[in-house]
Amino acid sequence: MGLDLRIGLIDGDEDIRFGRRQIIDSQDDLKVVLEDAILESALKRAPEALIDVLVIDHRLRGGDGITLSTKLIERYLADNSKIPSIIMTGAYFSDELQLASLRAGATDLVTQDAHPEELLKAIRSTASKDDQPDYLELRKFLDRMKHTKVASPEFLLKLGDLTEKEKLVLDLFAAGVSQDEVSQQLDAPKYRVRQVLQSAQRKCGFATLSQLFLALYESGLLSV
């Protein structure tokens, strides 16, 4: 079977990296192509490695996984290049760390003591899923945390730079209308709706629709 997914492992613990590399490389469709333990080094090397999925641990040398994920996404966006899916790992995940991971662009979370199959499943699913999170559950999570709604001036300025079509699709997204329903309402192919939404997402500086959802929530622009 040919190589399908290129994986990057960024973790400050050499033993954990070794174990995860053994697990991942034992799969016919997965291959670790980058390992690093240091934030600044990973920030330089990862964009050059053509990675499909980055597995980033919260604990790194010279920083943390949240900071690395945030800076990497900024670099990918600035270079107008494909952003790899990001799985955040850690010893545990509190609500606060889950929110920070979401804000940083992580698409999945896996704890350190999770069964190896859970990590493999996360890698395959996060690389293939159509990035349509469960927004109702996400809204419940944010409400449960009583997360403060503070609008980002930078985000609001970027909204002003969107095209009229992007604004229309984003308004429907904020109203909780699914991409299938948007496609029907606008009489446009679903792939085109997704392209427009992705364009708005990237112009606003985000790697995932969950990040965009969070920004709309904090700005009080959600009507879902």
- 89-123 pLDDT, tens per residue? 998 888 888 899 999 999 899 998 899 999 999 99
Four-way CATH pick for 5-128: 3.30.470.20, 3.40.190.10, 3.40.630.30, 3.40.50.2300: 3.40.50.2300
pLDDT, tens digit (0-9, with 9 covering 90-100), for 187-200: 999 999 999 999 99
Note the pLDDT of residue 188.
93
Q: How far apart are the first and last CA of the chain?
A: 44
The values of phi and psi at residue 209, to 5°, are -70, -25
- How far is it, in rounded angstroms, from Cα 211 to Cα 102? 6
Q: In the predicted model, what is the mean pLDDT of the chain? A: 91
Q: Quickly state the pLDDT bin for 224 (edges 50, 70, 90).
A: low
SS3 call for 15:
helix
pLDDT, residue 129, reads 58
Per-residue model confidence as pLDDT tens digits over 43-88: 999 999 999 999 999 999 999 999 999 999 999 999 999 999 999 9
- According to the model, what pLDDT value does residue 1 have? 43
Model confidence pLDDT, tens digit, residues 134-185? 788 888 888 888 766 788 899 999 999 999 999 999 999 999 888 899 999 9
* The pLDDT of residue 3: 58
What lies within 8 Å, CB to CB, of 47 at 6+ separation is 72, 75, 76, 79, 81
DSSP 121-186: HHHHHHHHS-----HHHHHHHHHHTT------HHHHHHHTTS-HHHHHHHHHHHTT--HHHHHHHH
Domain with CATH 3.40.50.2300 in the chain: 5-128
Q: Is 88 left (phi over 0), alpha (psi -120 to 50) or beta?
A: beta
Residue intervals in the chain for CATH 1.10.10:
135-218
Query: pTM for the complete prediction?
Result: 0.88
Please tell me the CATH code under which domain 135-218 is placed: 1.10.10
